């Protein structure tokens, strides 16, 4: 049943629709990045969001929070809430691009592409888990459970791993598509 639903991706949505939704999602991604994340990057006094996401222990988190102070922590929490929308900005375009390029190649790569097109959504699920745990830390500091940073960091690691796998697959299939076009 799951495979049957994936097979519908051979034709639907159309290439044009994939490009349109990818473009809209990229606009969302860029807008949030420019208006929200860029300004936040300079408020951390040496600690950015990636430091926060990959601080595996409560002790590391409390050091970051001590440097940030309450005002920066509030702003970072706002950034995490915006990140829920940002997830759409990276999952949808990567899904669309993987599917679009996979459709243009042979059936074997197309079948792999079906599964690879899911990698951004799996990354998005782990980003949601990460965000929930980041918000727990920000809203319950310093009383959050000591396992919360571990869950956040592990989720961030898995998120980035799935994004990298999806992006590498897209780039490899794009190169294959270009090489096929050159050969013809």
Q: Render 17-52 in DSSP notation, one character per residue.
A: HHHHHHHHHHHHHHHHIIIIIHHHHTSSTT--HHHH
Q: Is residue 5 part of a domain?
A: no
Tens-level pLDDT at each residue, the chain (184 residues): 655 666 676 777 888 998 999 999 999 999 999 999 998 888 868 899 999 999 999 999 999 999 999 999 999 999 999 999 999 999 999 999 999 998 888 888 888 888 899 999 999 999 999 999 999 999 999 999 999 999 999 999 999 999 999 999 999 999 999 998 888 7
Q: What is the pLDDT of residue 35?
A: 93
Q: What is the pLDDT of residue 1?
A: 63
* Whether the predicted model's global pTM rises above the 0.85 cut: yes
Q: What is the pLDDT of residue 45?
A: 80
CA-angle at 164, arms to 98 and 11, nearest 5°: 10
Q: Is residue 68 part of a domain?
A: yes
Residues in CB range of 50: below 8 A, 6 or more apart? none
Q: Is residue 3 part of a domain?
A: no
Q: Which two tokens stand for residue 102?
A: 């996979």
Distance of alpha carbon 63 from alpha carbon 7, whole angstroms: 49
For residue 170, count other CB atoms closer than 10 A to its CB.
Answer: 24
Distance of alpha carbon 95 from alpha carbon 25, whole angstroms: 11
Q: What is the pLDDT of residue 12?
A: 77
Structural domain that includes position 61: 12-183
Q: Is residue 157 part of a domain?
A: yes
Half-sphere exposure of 119 (CA within 13 A, CB side): 22
Q: Is residue 131 part of a domain?
A: yes
Q: What is the pLDDT of residue 49?
A: 92
Q: What is the pLDDT of residue 2?
A: 58
Q: Is residue 50 part of a domain?
A: yes
Q: Is residue 137 part of a domain?
A: yes
Q: Is residue 77 part of a domain?
A: yes
Total domain count, the chain = 1
Q: What is the pLDDT of residue 110?
A: 83
Residues found in the chain:
184
3-class secondary structure for 99-134?
Answer: HHHHHCCCHHHHHHHHHHCCHHHHHHHHHHHHHHHH
């Amino acid at each position: 049943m799951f495979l049957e639903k994936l097979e519908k991706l051979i034709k639907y949505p159309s290439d044009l629709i994939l490009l349109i939704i990818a473009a809209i999602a990229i606009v969302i991604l860029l807008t949030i990045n420019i208006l929200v994340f860029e300004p936040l990057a300079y408020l951390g006094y040496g600690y950015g969001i990636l430091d926060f996401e990959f601080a595996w222990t409560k002790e590391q988190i409390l050091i970051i929070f001590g440097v940030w102070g309450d005002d920066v922590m509030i702003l970072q929490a706002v950034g995490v809430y915006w990140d829920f929308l940002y997830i759409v900005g990276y999952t949808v375009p990567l899904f669309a691009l993987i599917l679009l390029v996979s459709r243009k190649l042979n059936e074997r790569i197309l079948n792999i592409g079906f599964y690879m097109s899911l990698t951004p959504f799996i990354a998005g699920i782990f980003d949601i888990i990460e965000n929930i745990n980041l918000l727990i830390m920000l809203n319950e500091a310093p009383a959050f459970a000591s396992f919360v940073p571990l869950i956040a960091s592990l989720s961030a690691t898995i998120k980035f791993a799935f994004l990298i796998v999806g992006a590498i697959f897209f780039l490899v299939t794009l190169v294959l598509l270009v090489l096929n076009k050159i050969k013809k």
